[in-house]
Structure 1
Amino acid sequence: MPEMPEVEALRRYLSAACVGQAIVRTQLVAFSALKTVQPPLEALNGLEISAVNRFGKFLDIDAQGVHLVFHLARAGWLHWRTEVPDKLLRPGRGPMALRVHLSNGQGFDLTEAGTQKHLAVHVVHDPADIELVRTLGPDPTEESFSADDFDRVLTAAGRAQLKGVLKDQRLLAGIGNAYSDEILHVARLSPFHPCSSLTREQRDELLGTIRSVLAEAVEATHGLGAEKLKDSKRATMRVHGRTGEPCPVCGTTIAQVSFADSSLQYCPGCQTGGKPLADRRLSKLLK
């Protein structure tokens, strides 16, 4: 799933490529992807793109006050095209969801792999009209987000586990399964550690780690095109997706905890005092 660093990289890429161009045509291929009806998708046609914004993991293309907002979900992606074919696309079972044609002949496709389709496209006059945008928590990478703000998030979470809190978009926007694993590894904290048990020093270190890990990931995307961002993400992971490999810090074998629809990876040596975590495959705690 694209998370804050990849979505921010896409925002920067689209800002450079799209701002000042007009949307000539949009082709909706996966009708289930469009979650709004007013204004219609065709309302974007002929409008010039004035800005590209990010809200957590949502991208927002602002075309003169009409916003094309999309969330790539777990298996969605954006593919940039230097030349967009004119042929009419037909609905089918393939990965294609939406194609956007720009006035310079370029454009992009939104696609989604797999059979479960969760990619979401919205056309709105105000991104806040989208409930999942309106209810987003603060972005911990913003300068305005303070240690006191982080304290309030952790205090409200009570004994909730750190992994779940970091992933909850209503509490903190932008962090998902992969980067929460990375953050907790660098911070040397168990994913099951209760928020209420963090010391003052641990809270400060965790906030600093969130910012440094995400900033490092954003920096790793510098100069990369949209097609190379996925490989860049995989290459920078220390523990996520590396079950069975040695920890790059202490050499301990990276372990995994599986759940019904996801898994987490961690280093027992760095994070749990050498003790393995129970595999709560049927647990609902981190949903």
Structure 2
Amino acid sequence: MPELPEVEALAQDLRGRLEGRAIAKVHIAAFSALKTFDPPLSAIEGTLVDDVTRHGKFLDIEASGLHLVLHLARGGWVRWRDEVPAVPPRPNSKSGLATRIVLDSGAGLDVTEAGTKKRLALYVAREPGGVPGIATLGPDPLTDEFTVEAFRAILAKEGRKQIKGVLRHQGTIAGIGNAYSDEILWAARMSPFKPADLDEEESEVLYDALRSTLADAVERSRGLAMSELKGEKKSNLAVHGRAGQACPRCGDTVREVSFADSSLQYCPTCQTGGKPLADRRLSKLLK
């Protein structure tokens, strides 16, 4: 799933490719992806791209006062094409193509989604705040306003909720998903099940881990083409997606806890005092 660092890098890459270009046509290949009807999709056609920005994990293409907003969800991605096919894509084909954005130059973007659960979303809005997911976003963790004091206030409000869920909740903090919440907690040496009501020292440790983990990922991604971003992310993860492998810090085996539709990874030695966390999915099967 693309998270804050990858979406930030996508925005930077697309800004250079799209700025000043006209959007000639937008083809919807998966009708479930389009979430708005006013303004109509046709309103974005013929507009000039002014900027490409990010709101949390939402990608925002601003064009002539309108906003074409993409949420790539779990399996979505954007692929650049130097030349798009002359024939429009077939609706609801099995290729994984959700949307094709055609530019006046003949180049364009293919927005694709892998997997059977179709969660990718496309919006046309007059203002970014008109998109429900953006309207309810929490603060961006890489802005100057996101201070350690602001972070402590968030944690105090969340109380006894598990810190993993607090970091992932987009209405609490914008842009952090499953992968980077694992990485942040590993960097902070904290259990994902630890309650959010941290003391002053713990909250500062977690704040520093959050800011440095995300900032480092953004910096590593800076200047990379969109085709390189997935590989860059995967190659630099310490624990997420690495169950069964050695922790790069202590050498212990990275463990996994599975849930209904996701899982988390952690190092027992670094994060839980050497004790493996109970896999609740397996516990239910053994009852």
Per-residue deviation, 1:94: 2.5
**Quick check: 2:96–2:112 contact (8 Å CA) kept in 1?**
yes
TM-score (norm 1): 0.96
Distance of 1:48 and 1:76 partners within structure 2: 25
Letter in 2 for 1:90: R
Q: Which runs of 4+ in 1 moved over 2 A?
A: none
SS of the aligned residue for 2:36 comes to coil
> What value does the CA root-mean-square deviation take over the aligned residues?
1.1
Match of residue 103 from structure 2: 102
Distance of 1:141 and 1:192 partners within structure 2: 24
Distance of 1:88 and 1:107 partners within structure 2: 12
Match of residue 159 from structure 1: 160
Match of residue 177 from structure 1: 178
Is residue 27 from structure 1 mapped to residue 39 from structure 2 by the alignment?
no
Distance of 1:222 and 1:120 partners within structure 2: 25
| Aligned pairs for 1:93-172 within 5 A | 93-172=94-173
Measured against aligned partners, the alpha-carbon deviations of 1:20-51 in whole angstroms (never above 9, x if no partner) come to 11101111110110000011111111110001
Match of residue 231 from structure 1: 231
SS of the aligned residue for 2:60 comes to strand
SS of the aligned residue for 2:281 comes to coil
Per-residue deviation, 1:227: 1.1
Match of residue 188 from structure 1: 189
Match of residue 258 from structure 1: 258
Match of residue 18 from structure 2: 18
Per-residue deviation, 1:149: 1.1
Is residue 199 from structure 1 mapped to residue 204 from structure 2 by the alignment?
no
SS of the aligned residue for 1:150 comes to helix
**Quick check: 1:188–1:271 contact (8 Å CA) kept in 2?**
yes
Distance of 2:21 and 2:227 partners within structure 1: 21
Match of residue 272 from structure 1: 272
Distance of 1:274 and 1:90 partners within structure 2: 53
Per-residue deviation, 1:282: 7.9
**Quick check: 1:259–1:282 contact (8 Å CA) kept in 2?**
no
Corresponding residue pairs, total:
282
Measured against aligned partners, the alpha-carbon deviations of 1:82-105 in whole angstroms (never above 9, x if no partner) come to 112221211123300100111222
Which range moves more in the overlay, 217-226 or 52-61? 217-226
Is residue 89 from structure 1 mapped to residue 89 from structure 2 by the alignment?
yes
SS of the aligned residue for 1:195 comes to coil
Per-residue deviation, 1:205: 1.5
Where do 5+ consecutive residues of structure 1 fail to align?
A: none
TM-score (norm 2): 0.96
Distance of 2:26 and 2:181 partners within structure 1: 35
**Quick check: 2:6–2:218 contact (8 Å CA) kept in 1?**
yes
Per-residue deviation, 1:280: 1.6
**Quick check: 1:246–1:254 contact (8 Å CA) kept in 2?**
yes
Is residue 209 from structure 1 mapped to residue 209 from structure 2 by the alignment?
yes
Distance of 2:104 and 2:208 partners within structure 1: 43
**Quick check: 1:20–1:50 contact (8 Å CA) kept in 2?**
yes
Distance of 2:67 and 2:86 partners within structure 1: 24
Distance of 1:214 and 1:181 partners within structure 2: 12
Where do 5+ consecutive residues of structure 2 fail to align?
A: none
Distance of 1:261 and 1:281 partners within structure 2: 11
Report % sequence identity: 54
